[in-house]
Amino acid sequence: MALTGLDIYKLLPKTNCKKCGRPTCLAFAMQLAQKKASVEECPDISEASKQALGAASAPPIKLVTIGSNGRVLQIGEENVLFRHEEKFYHPPGIAVAISDNLTDKEFDSRLQKINGLHFQRVGTEISIDLVALTNQSGDKVKFAQAAQKLASGTKLATILISESPEAIGAALEHFAKRRPLLYGTNSKNYEPMAKLAKEKNCPLGVYATSLEELAELTEKIKALGVNELVIDYKGKGPKDVLHGLTKIRRCALKKNFRPLGFPTITFLEDEDHFQEIVQAATYVAKYAGIVVLKSYEPWQVMPLLTVRQNIYTDPQKPVQVQPKLYEVGQVTEDSPALFTTNFSLTYYSVEGEVESSRIPTYILAVNTEGTSVLTAYSGDKLNEKVVAKAMSAAQLEEKVKHKKLVIPGLVAVMSAKLREETGWDILVGPKEAAGLPSYLKTTWDKHGKKD
Ligand code: SF4
């Protein structure tokens, strides 16, 4: 059972000396209970208390690192069941499987596709994190050969999947320094697998068909000296898997149940690509540490990466673009000028539509602390003074000669005051970014350019 703030407080010196940077010992205790502080920050704590708190204050879900140098994936160390309670810290890894049973030509072409699974969305690169090599052939020589090709053919972090310790050992010869996840450990092979993981300092993927068996297995493996584990509950279908993933997270966070305090891995088995991605999105939401896909086409993978990007943004910190004047296309002094807010999603929606109109345009991203147009307006973060200040900071007057500004249709009500504040003509644009291409081609063309 996790210690409460008061339990922890009883173990502290209670001098309120502030050396830890907190105003009182109680404040420090509360932060310790929420895993927002470390015992080491109190220099006066006794050894006995440190030991008592050490285990209790360790993260309820172990942090596991896969890969080294180039592409590294860290999963685990989550503190909450629901994102709005705080935030989720480590986005689950998205892995794509590749079989050692493919011909050389098929393997190379599949790997090329897998390496290309990265995209730009709302100003951020989103990509898969891992490639998972499966020992479908059952042959350790073939597996090692495929591992060799994989090691030289990708920078992605790797999962080596086989139930054979010999096959994993042979493949590891090519991955010694890259710290792959070794997956395929069960109640029959855990001893040699743990030995390999310990020798090569690699994390270990463990599976079982019941949570009880899984918990027993992790304890046995920990006793052999391997602590970085990724656990896989093999449920009977998506509903059962989701249930298992939720139970694992609840046991770890609410009961501080250490045998299940590890990040999870889940394999997608559905042959239908749409079903596969829908199920994977469900597991990304609750509570997979890694999902392993069979799909490898961009149209299949990108929706899942988008879901992950949306879930793993900090709800208390809106994603923002730099507030400044952006030039889309080869702008001139006759180009339209419009403003929007610096909320990423809003800005990139506007930019995408302007780009598709093929009309070079200035977009002024006004600083509204990353909030959308209506939210900013209703919170008084967007008003005529804020826009006028942004226009002047961006020296918009020197960029265009027409002195006309297109404003979002949602804040048409600002027109008169903005006109008064800036002396510019204010044109009311469409309410939705999707209306911009036709607005720029028709209304701007008629009223903006020629007036
Ligand atoms: Fe209390 Fe230790 Fe912080 Fe001092 S440093 S206020 S004793 S918790």
Q: Are 373 and 341 in contact (CB under 8 A)?
A: yes
* Residue of 28, 32, 41, 57 with the most ligand 1 atoms within 8 Å of its CB, for mutation: 28
Instruction: Return the pLDDT at 200.
Output: 94
Dihedral, 102, 104, 108, 113 alpha carbons, nearest 10: -30
Residues within 6 Å of ligand 1 by CB? 12-13, 15-20, 22, 25, 28, 42, 44
Instruction: Return the pLDDT at 188.
Output: 96
Distance from residue 18's CA to the centre of ligand 1 (Å): 5
* Residue of 9, 14, 16, 32 with the most ligand 1 atoms within 8 Å of its CB, for mutation: 16
The protein residue whose alpha carbon is closest to atom 4 in ligand 1 is 17
Report the candidate in 253, 213, 217 with the shortest Cα–Cα distance to residue 1. Answer: 253
Distance from residue 278's CA to the centre of ligand 1 (Å): 49
φ and ψ of 190, to 5 deg: -65, -30
- The mean pLDDT value of the chain amounts to 92
The CATH architecture one would assign to domain 64-311 is Alpha-Beta Barrel (3.20)
Mean pLDDT of 72-100: 90
Alpha helices in 293-393, H assignment, sequence order: 298-311, 344-357, 373-378, 384-393
Question: Strands 290-293, 93-99: parallel, antiparallel or unpaired by DSSP?
Answer: parallel
Using CA atoms, how far apart are residues 324 and 89, in angstroms rounded to an integer? 29
Q: Are 230 and 288 in contact (CB under 8 A)?
A: no
Domain 325-442 = CATH 2.60.40.3080:
no
Where, residue-wise, is CATH 3.40.50.11600 in the chain?
325-442
Instruction: Select the more confidently predicted residue: 36 or 226.
Output: 226
Mean pLDDT of 181-193: 97
Where, residue-wise, is CATH 3.20.20.20 in the chain?
64-311
* Residue of 10, 15, 18 with the most ligand 1 atoms within 8 Å of its CB, for mutation: 15
Which residues touch 18 (CB under 8 Å, ≥6 apart)?
24
Report the candidate in 262, 177, 178 with the shortest Cα–Cα distance to residue 226. Answer: 262
Ligand 1 atom at minimal distance to the Cα of residue 23? 6
Distance from residue 33's CA to the centre of ligand 1 (Å): 15
Beta bridge partners of 96: 131, 293
Instruction: Select the more confidently predicted residue: 1 or 88.
Output: 88
Binning pLDDT at 50, 70 and 90, where does residue 182 land?
A: very high
Is the pLDDT at 299 greater than 80? The verdict is yes
Tens of pLDDT, residues 359-400: 999 999 999 999 999 999 999 999 999 999 999 999 999 999
Tens of pLDDT, residues 303-316: 999 999 988 887 77
Instruction: Select the more confidently predicted residue: 424 or 1.
Output: 424
Ligand 1 atom at minimal distance to the Cα of residue 18? 6
Mean pLDDT of 251-279: 94
How many CB atoms are located within 10 Å of the residue 440 CB? 25
Using CA atoms, how far apart are residues 263 and 336, in angstroms rounded to an integer? 51
Report the candidate in 322, 330, 369, 375 with the shortest Cα–Cα distance to residue 348. Answer: 322
Q: According to CATH, what is the number of the domain 5-56?
A: 1.10.15.40
How many CB atoms are located within 10 Å of the residue 446 CB? 10
Structural tokens at position 24: 């009182």
Radius of gyration of the chain (CA): 27
Instruction: Select the more confidently predicted residue: 420 or 318.
Output: 420
Q: In which region does residue 343 sit, left (phi positive, over 0), alpha (psi from -120 to 50) or beta (all else)?
A: beta
Where, residue-wise, is CATH 1.10.15.40 in the chain?
5-56
Identify how many contiguous H helices and E strands the chain contains and give both numbers.
Answer: 17, 17
How many CB atoms are located within 10 Å of the residue 423 CB? 10
